[in-house]
Amino acid sequence: MTDMTATVLVVGGGPAGMAVAISLRQRGVSVLVLDRRPSRDTSTSRALMIHARTLEVLEELNVTEALLASGRRASSFAFRDASKVLLRLPFNNLPTAYPFMLIVPQWRTEQVLEERLHAVGGEVRYGWTFTGLRQAPGHVDIDVLDPDGGPHVIRAQLVVGADGGKSAVRTAAGIAFVRSDYVGEFLLADVDMISDLDGGEIHNFLSPEGMMVIETLPDGKKRIITTDSPTAAAPPTRDELEHLVHMRATTSARIDAVAWVSRYQVGHGLAASYRRGRVLLAGDAAHVHSPAGGQGMNTGIQDAVMLAALASSALEGSLTALDEYERHRRPVAAAVIRFSDLFTRLVTVRTGAGRHLRNFGLAVIGRVPMLQREIALRMSELVVPPGRS
């Protein structure tokens, strides 16, 4: 028995799901967004960087101004060997209205998107869990559990799986996804730290003990991302973190407090297809990759905005309008995966010879402005190389 209907059902109220929903609402399409979380989480920050291309795309959703007001602008990205800069990538000369990387914690980006979703008459329904689906000619029946665990069936014309890297929608639609993980975990911490590091630059220290990225959050805290010891068990203490910063980055730093620590496994994977019948994938459900270069959320938001435009045409005409989505966005994800994979392997090289070769290569690029610009254009997603999927 069907007890609810929606023109489009979006599973997942993360950045990708909300961006699809806002764009659909702006086009007058009725959309229901479900998320199994009991409420939005504002205690963790995850993705930090919003790139120029995403800010351009988000203009269409009327959220760019609010994000700019919430963020801190970083105008360069530097690779360092201790205090020596091997390569500095400038972002302040990119051909865009947003020549910088905008640093905004993901919870704040989600808050801005959710406020906009409300403004266009939509909402995320929390505590609702997708469990399965059945496709039929003209519609999809979707099984969900409400916040009390009660089963319901929702009938929709299209379903968007924006339910993250372990997407249940992807599995239910029978879309293959092969993931491979890098060895070891990454450690991520937001801390109150006093140091002489420039807050307008993102610092990537390539130490023999492991790489460490340090960037400055809008509230002045520092985000530390570093390779973790495979044997580490408990979250590191303030003293242990400070020791890691001294060993891998800068001895001038003093950590006063640790606001948040998390460990995560990094890997990459790409869905074999972005659509099966009336079911589509967006964001991490379609592609996951290393956060090196900060591109996961950015790519997902850009997927979402294109998907919404095509879905709205398909609802008025034929589903074939949706073919353009995979044709255009899957090669983009494949290119992002290749780029972030190369980036991850380079910054995590540990052998003496490998490090020497890498540092030499970075120093050479440091003398060729054209190459620096090419890398900055790719990171900002203003240019995506022609993809092989």
Binding footprint of ligand FAD on the chain (CB under 6 A): 11-17, 34-37, 46-49, 106, 129-130, 162-164, 168, 188, 262, 264, 283-284, 291, 294-298, 300
11 or 22: CB nearest ligand FAD = 11
Q: Least CB distance from residue 159 to ligand FAD, whole Å?
A: 11
20 or 354: CB nearest ligand FAD = 20
Q: Judge whether 7 and 29 are in contact, CB under 8 Å.
A: yes
Q: Judge whether 213 and 87 are in contact, CB under 8 Å.
A: no
Q: Judge whether 355 and 206 are in contact, CB under 8 Å.
A: yes
35 or 326: CB nearest ligand FAD = 35
The secondary structure of residue 140, as a DSSP letter, is E
135 or 359: CB nearest ligand FAD = 135
Q: Least CB distance from residue 372 to ligand FAD, whole Å?
A: 21
Q: Least CB distance from residue 166 to ligand FAD, whole Å?
A: 7
Q: Least CB distance from residue 363 to ligand FAD, whole Å?
A: 26
38 or 317: CB nearest ligand FAD = 38
3-class SS of residue 87: strand
Long-range residue pairs from 385-389, CB within 8 A, at least 24 positions apart, any chain: 385/335, 386/331, 386/335, 387/330, 387/331, 387/332, 387/334, 387/335, 388/331, 388/334, 389/270, 389/330, 389/331, 389/334
Q: Least CB distance from residue 369 to ligand FAD, whole Å?
A: 26
Q: Least CB distance from residue 364 to ligand FAD, whole Å?
A: 27
Q: Least CB distance from residue 158 to ligand FAD, whole Å?
A: 16
Beta-carbon contacts of residue 175 (< 8 Å; ≥ 6 apart): 271, 272, 273, 276, 279, 281
Q: Least CB distance from residue 276 to ligand FAD, whole Å?
A: 17
107 or 359: CB nearest ligand FAD = 107
83 or 265: CB nearest ligand FAD = 265
Q: Buried (b) or exposed (e) across 110-142, using 16+ Cβ within 10 A?
A: bbbbbebbeebebebeeebbbeebebeeebbbb
12 or 210: CB nearest ligand FAD = 12
Sheet strands (E) in the chain: 4-11, 31-35, 49-50, 72-74, 76-81, 84-90, 101-103, 124-126, 129-136, 139-145, 151-161, 177-194, 201-207, 210-216, 222-227, 254-271, 275-276, 279-281, 287-288
> How many beta carbons lie within 10 A of that of residue 246, not counting itself?
14
Q: CA-CA distance, 331 to 372, in Å (whole number)? A: 23
Which pairing describes strands 151-161 and 4-11: parallel, antiparallel, or unpaired? parallel
